[in-house]
Amino acid sequence: MKIETAKVDDPFYYLQNLQTLLGFVTDRYWALFSPEEQQQLTAIDSLTQPAQAVLCRMVMRKGELFRESKLQYPEIADTAAALNELGAKGLVTTCAKVNSEQLASLLTKAELLSFARHTYPELPWPASLSKPKLTEQLQRQIPAEPSFPLVEALHVATGTKEIGVQLLVDALFVRVRLLFFGNLYQDWSEFVTTELGHRQYERVDLTDTPATFDSREVLEAYIEMHQLAEQLEQADDVLTLWPQLPWQAPKHTWLDRRRSKLLFQAGRQAERQQQYAHAIEAYRESRYPEAAVRWCRVSELSESQEQCYQFAEEQLAQASAAIDKLRISRIYQRSARKLKQATPLLFTLARPNTWQLDLPQAPVEQLERSCAAAIGEPDAPCVYVENLLFNGLFGLLFWPAIFAPVRDAFFHPFQAAPADMYSRSFSRKRQSIIDDCFALLEQGQHGDAMHATLKDKQGLANHFIYWEGLSPELLDMALRCIPAPQLELIFRRMLQDLRQHRSGFPDLIQFYPASQTYRLIEIKGPNDRPQDNQRLWLDLFAREGIDASVCNVSWPE
């Protein structure tokens, strides 16, 4: 289908964007909706514009209970008529029942106090009670299961004939949101009202791309795991949820990634509650990137030092990510010291060159820019770039790979990055395209390709590119001074682990156009030390002969 976004000066722009989302999802996934959900979607499509607008406003807000007085918007002339239409279509009801907590969320303290005094006059209800205390006392009178008619409660609390409604399509829109985003952690209401109107996106052709959600079972399995993740965050005793965890790996690759993340979350929660044996069990089954490190860490806390030493040694041999090796090696060395073992350093980092810079004054929030101004010279400009430059160069060169229409990567036409960007399969799925991009570097054609992308794609959302900072002048200078083999080295390192290696680059770059060279400078104030991802980049630069150093800055107190 053709995707069009609404103009933000249209008072119903949010509704038009919602219609775009619904149209995309129903065109692509109609067969995954149940007969009841299909009837609801058909009913929504048949609504008048005011009724659709009120429905959209409710969907974009939290919860499923609303007061009519809180659904008044200037572009909607008759909210009451719209609600009547929604009720006639079975999309809302005025017969909702509530418990005390739900009632408290809808009423002000004064209204809640009026309700309590009118409904339970035999009990004392002093005006000095805070709203939480008032709610707590009402909980003793009203069952936890919603049982008090909402409309009656509003009439009693407000002294008016105001109605309250319950949205009956909340579950439907959970599935719509999941099918559109490919996740349930994004708040699509904000997306509808802002993103579509203010950002432009690369058009990824999804016509021939197999849909990630290829069955209702996959859809429901994801929702179940999402709900379980929410319960884990709130559980006082994580073990009560342990039997419900998805211990058996599904055959669906994308769903298995979500399972690994859920098991990692369960392990973290068990670790926080000092349930170390269960934490290890979850980490062992998870293939989430950080699981192996946490497994070693918990082993250090709970196992004997001999077991920890042996286990860390095994994991160190298996770890593929540099940052995992660095962190596991620390645990390994600590265990070795406690056991008085003469263990060789299995993972060491080269020490970067360091030098001192004294500034007359340097506000902390402007430290890097102050240093760039002090270091730079007319014929050797120094620029504060941090992660902006190399990420931007990567985004320009590998644009075809980033936006390749591969499975499980793009769920809708408004993504700034593929959903599998941080997965281990990112490069494998796009290997031929990535090889073509590296071929441009080897042939010296990368500059032309990057300039063409800068011109053709300017302003399109890309998680690797900050357009306001990546000017044609900066790109020209970088291409002139950074040799292609060094760019290839950096890009290959990034592709090993995009989650970790897209950050940690030195703060400054100083160009020497006359000699077509450059140097990288990491700025550190007093008592500041390089972080792990920074140390890994500095190590690579030192080993490969790339001029990179740490500048320790001081200034008068």
Is residue 484 a contact partner of residue 441, using CB atoms and an 8 Å limit?
A: yes
Q: Tell me the residue length of the chain.
A: 557
Segments of the chain scoring below 70 in pLDDT:
1-8, 190-191, 193-197, 344-346, 361-365, 557
pLDDT tens, 222-247? 999 999 999 999 899 999 999 999 99
Report the SS3 class of residue 164. Answer: strand
Q: Please report the pLDDT score of residue 239 as a whole number.
A: 94
Is residue 458 a contact partner of residue 467, using CB atoms and an 8 Å limit?
A: yes
- Fold of the domain built from segment(s) 214-338: 1.25.40
Q: How do the domains of the chain map onto residue ranges?
A: 13-173, 214-338, 353-554
Q: Model-level pTM?
A: 0.84
Write the DSSP string, 164-211. EEEES-HHHHHHHHHHHHSSSSS-HHHIIIIIHHH-B------TTSPP
Rounded to whole angstroms, the Cα distance separating 432 from 52 reads 46
Q: Please report the pLDDT score of residue 188 as a whole number.
A: 73
Q: Please report the pLDDT score of residue 70 as a whole number.
A: 94
Amino acid at 397: L
Q: Please report the pLDDT score of residue 1 as a whole number.
A: 47
Three-class SS of 503-552:
CCCCCEEEEECCCCEEEEEEEECCCCCCCHHHHHHHHHHHHCCCCEEEEE
Q: Please report the pLDDT score of residue 521 as a whole number.
A: 97
Looking up tokens 């007085």 gives: 69
